[in-house]
Amino acid sequence: MSNTINYAEQYTNQLRELYGQESKADALYHSNSDIQLRGGKTIKIPTLSVSGYKDHTRASLGFPQGTYENNYETKTLDHDRSIEFVVDPMDFDETDTVVSLANIQSRFDRTQAIPEHDSYTFSKLYAEAVRVGATIKHDKLTIENVLKDFDENLKTLEDKGVPLDRMILYVTADYKTILKNAEGIQRTLDIKSGGGIDRRIHSVDDIGNIVTVPSARFKTVYDFTDGCKSGVGAKQINYILIDPECQVSRDKYAYIHLFAPGSDSRTADNYLYQNRKYNGTFAIDHLFVDGCIMNVSALTQTFAGNGSTTAFTVTDKPEKLIGVTVDGTATTDYSYDKSSGVITFNTAPGNAKAIVVTY
């Protein structure tokens, strides 16, 4: 074999097929096909706005003048990752080096790269939802309320003109079980009562694409320092209901090389395998705010008042707070600094008062 082989060229189709089979977020990487990578890792997202009709003047040769504005928003793939493995030649099947490399590549993709790919994508969707102000719910979902929540989501999307036939519902196994059990109970009641009690407008069948995501890949934040781990303050995402056309996700295998023994001073008598990859996920802001609804489990931190302390530090430093209670009573008598995580009450909570911060 030659000293260096570029496997990014040889394995592109196989890698795409593998991601298509194993990655839960793969469908998001095939939307908006007209938006392409420029210069390797830059995406130009077009925005076009046009004016509406005006009253027509009869007996006039002219038409009212309309206006349009065409701009581009440039995004750069922000998940830039690399790895290398030094492989002893004794570990290779010397009769078929490519097969041995494929085993390493396949194992790496299935156990590391693909789970990270999904984790990045879903956590970035959450970050974009926070940024643009998309709907993020925190209600605890049960068999009793899950169908009402589902119905409200679909009615909201229809009211905003989002096509339901494009929607994808990403769910945890727990949420899917609750949803399916509730749907089954409702159908049983319908049969027993002759179909007279179901007043819902929608059913689970209205969403044709429901994808179950392992809960470990469905957190709000990750630590990518060494591989992919749940990050500080990570919350569980329960579902993401999204129109894939309201976002742009792209990935690029920039570099996959195998260096043969002796190809340079570093390799010595070893093979050196290197892999570098870019990917990125971005909201199309004006579409995303209407085209994405999430449910995310809330976290809480509890403090005890002493009658004099007014400032308390929320360890995770959340972006924003959902609510604060003092002895079970909701209060807004405070300010919050997200940079420090400090919540400051205008009046010190009383001695032994339980302060619960939800975020």
Q: Around 350, how many Cα atoms within 13 Å sit in the side-chain half-sphere?
A: 4
pLDDT digits (tens, 9 = 90+) for 256-271: 888 888 887 778 888 8
* Residue 8 pLDDT level (bands cut at 50, 70, 90): low
Strand bridging mode 300-304 / 354-358: antiparallel
Inform me whether the pLDDT recorded for 198 exceeds 60.
no
Residue 252: its pLDDT value, please?
86
For residues 122-155, one letter each, b for 16 or more C-beta atoms within 10 angstroms of the residue's C-beta and e for the rest, the string is bbbbbebbeebebebebeebeeeebbebbbebbe
pLDDT digits (tens, 9 = 90+) for 111-147: 999 999 999 999 999 999 999 999 999 999 999 999 9
Query: Distance between CA 82 and CA 254 in Å, rounded?
Result: 10
Percent of the chain with pLDDT over 90: 61
| Amino acid at position 6, single letter | N
Query: Distance between CA 121 and CA 127 in Å, rounded?
Result: 10
Selected residue with higher pLDDT from 22 and 96: 22
Burial class (CB in 10 A: 0-12, 13-18, 19+), 307: exposed
Inform me whether the pLDDT recorded for 100 exceeds 90.
no
| Amino acid at position 218, single letter | F
Q: Which long-range contacts (CB under 8 A, 24 or more apart) does 92-96 make?
A: 92/271
Q: What is the mean pLDDT of residues 297-301?
A: 96
Mean pLDDT (the chain, rounded): 88
* Residue 341 pLDDT level (bands cut at 50, 70, 90): very high
What's the token pair of residue 39? 């210069």
How far lies 274's CA from each of 83, 263, 281, in Å?
Answer: 6, 14, 24
Contacts of residue 103, defined as CB under 8 A and 6 or more positions apart, other chains included, come to none
Residue 197: its pLDDT value, please?
47
Question: What is the SS3 assignment for 43?
Answer: strand
Q: Which of 176-180, 186-190, 342-346 has the lowest mean pLDDT?
A: 186-190
Inform me whether the pLDDT recorded for 27 exceeds 60.
yes
Q: Which of 124-128, 164-168, 173-177, 270-274 has the lowest mean pLDDT?
A: 270-274
Query: Distance between CA 91 and CA 93 in Å, rounded?
Result: 7
What's the token pair of residue 107? 């194992």
Inform me whether the pLDDT recorded for 249 exceeds 90.
yes
Only one residue has tokens 């489990």, namely 297
Contacts of residue 245, defined as CB under 8 A and 6 or more positions apart, other chains included, come to 31, 32, 166, 284, 287, 291
Residue 192: its pLDDT value, please?
54
For the chain, which domains are there? Answer: 4-50+69-296 (3.90.1690), 300-358 (no CATH)
Q: Which residues is 170 bridged to in the sheet?
A: 211, 240
Q: Which long-range contacts (CB under 8 A, 24 or more apart) does 104-107 make?
A: 104/273, 105/7, 105/11, 105/15, 105/256, 105/275, 106/18
Inform me whether the pLDDT recorded for 99 exceeds 60.
no
